[in-house]
Amino acid sequence: MASKKVLGLTAATAALVLGLTACGGGDGGSGDGNGDGASGDAFQFGILYPQTGSLAFLGPPQISAAEFAIQEINEAGGILGTEVPAIIEGDEAGDAAQANEAANSLVSDGVHAVIGTAASGMAMATYDTITGSQIVMCSGSNTAPDLTNIDDGGYYFRTAPSDLLSGPVMARKIVEDGHQSVAVIARADDYGAGYAGGLESELEALGAEVVANETYDPDTTTFASVVGAVNDAEADAVALISFEEGAQVIAELLETGTEGDQLYITDGLNSPELGDSVNESDPEIVTGITGVAPGADNPEFDEGLNEFAPDLETFQFGPQVFDCAISIALAAEAAGSVTPADYVGELANVTSPEGTECTTFAECRDLLTDGEEINYQGVSGNIDFDENGDPTSATFQVFHFGDDGYETLGFEEYSVNE
């Protein structure tokens, strides 16, 4: 696919959108799907996240984090002095057709930015609808490497790290724990392939051997052949790249002789309730399992989000979604416009390491007002969008199921410049 470049505000870009109908301030938009609006109009966020489907557990922290960000923005006076209205929601549902239908609905509502999707596959299904309408799209949880080079005209961004960053962090943990032969089990999709690629490359670079590489159909209900092949390889560690269905894979691995301290899992299984999913009558069976997931070493944010949404069971990807919303809001402030074609070129600028570091919307906005360049330091860590809209550094949580249950062993920083 064609490599994308972040757009600047050029005469050609301005001319392209000159005839688009403006979205009225706070009236829900004109329904023309172009996200156009002048300074003084209310900035309308849309969110495309899983309300239903296999990834519905990711929905609550994502919508809560987006709403938490909007609360911070409004407490500081809104975007360009105008209060941000309630976010318009769409359900990606884990289904490409339904996700694209929801994306079309958000475009018709005249949103100025879309937060989402949660799943990389759903981003592949919807980005053309959204970015093709010249609307900025920012995901806090898309990790597939293939999204780096999509032909999006420069309107797609993500604050979640590519699996090309995640895989090496897991590889280092596996080798650090003393394992030298590794079996990899991955979903047969973009997520599984991308993660496995980064993991295997780093394992080999560290001197470890990948002795088995098994993939499975995410819609399958039996994993006997995959588990059997891994057992035959007699690896001393197993890396499982999976979502919810991975609980069944874990159950079968443990039943056939794999020990918990040999198992390494990804963000799709990062849940304190994993033991109940694997074996409801014996949840401690997962003791020893270690995982790696994009995270944030930010207790203050966790406390604030917990106070804002006390019923949340997990904050997974919440910090990254929050950073999407704040980055977009700051870009609009920097451009002096809510029109995506105007502010899209500022997204890389407001997160650039060349600017003055700032950590809140109000602090960063005030620096912009004073004419300073800024470097927004996200609650998820450094972002520093590159020319493809990807973060160039990220923070990862190393989680573990110990004798006392779920725990965080620590956080690892990883940068593409390492």
* pLDDT tens-digit map of 109-120: 999 999 999 999
Quote the percentage of the chain above a pLDDT of 90: 74
Which residue segment(s) compose the domain that 49 sits in? 11-160+317-385
Instruction: Based on the fold, state whether residues 205 and 112 are members of the same structural domain.
Output: no
Q: Is residue 302 part of a domain?
A: no
Does 154 share its domain with 168?
A: no
Report how far apart, in Å, the C-alpha atoms of 36 and of each of 29, 32, 365 are: 9, 9, 22
- How far apart, in whole angstroms, are the C-alpha atoms of residue 16 and residue 14? 5
Number of H helices, E strands in the chain: 14, 14
Assess whether pLDDT exceeds 70 at residue 293: yes
Tell me how far apart the alpha carbons of residues 19 and 23 are, in angstroms, rounded to a whole number: 12
The phi and psi torsions of 280 (rounded to 5 degrees) equal -60, -30
Average pLDDT, integer, range 225-254? 96
Residue 22 pLDDT greater than 60, yes or no: no
| CATH of residue 230 | 3.40.50.2300
In a domain, 3, yes or no: no
| Residue 147 clears pLDDT 70, i.e. is over it | yes
**pLDDT tens for residues 42-70?**
999 999 999 998 788 889 999 999 999 99
Domain count, the chain: 2
**Residue 175 structure tokens:** 């080798």
**Residue 9 pLDDT > 70:** no
- 132 falls in which pLDDT band (50, 70, 90)? very high
Give me the pLDDT at residue 165, please.
85
Q: Within a domain: residue 301?
A: no
Alpha helices in 318-416 (DSSP H): 318-335, 340-343, 347-350, 361-369
Same-domain pairing of 145 and 170 = no
Do residues 201 and 148 both lie within one domain?
no
pLDDT for position 35: 52
Q: Is 281 exposed, middle or buried (0-12, 13-18, 19+ CB in 10 A)?
A: exposed
Mean pLDDT of the chain: 89
Residue 57: what pLDDT?
Answer: 83
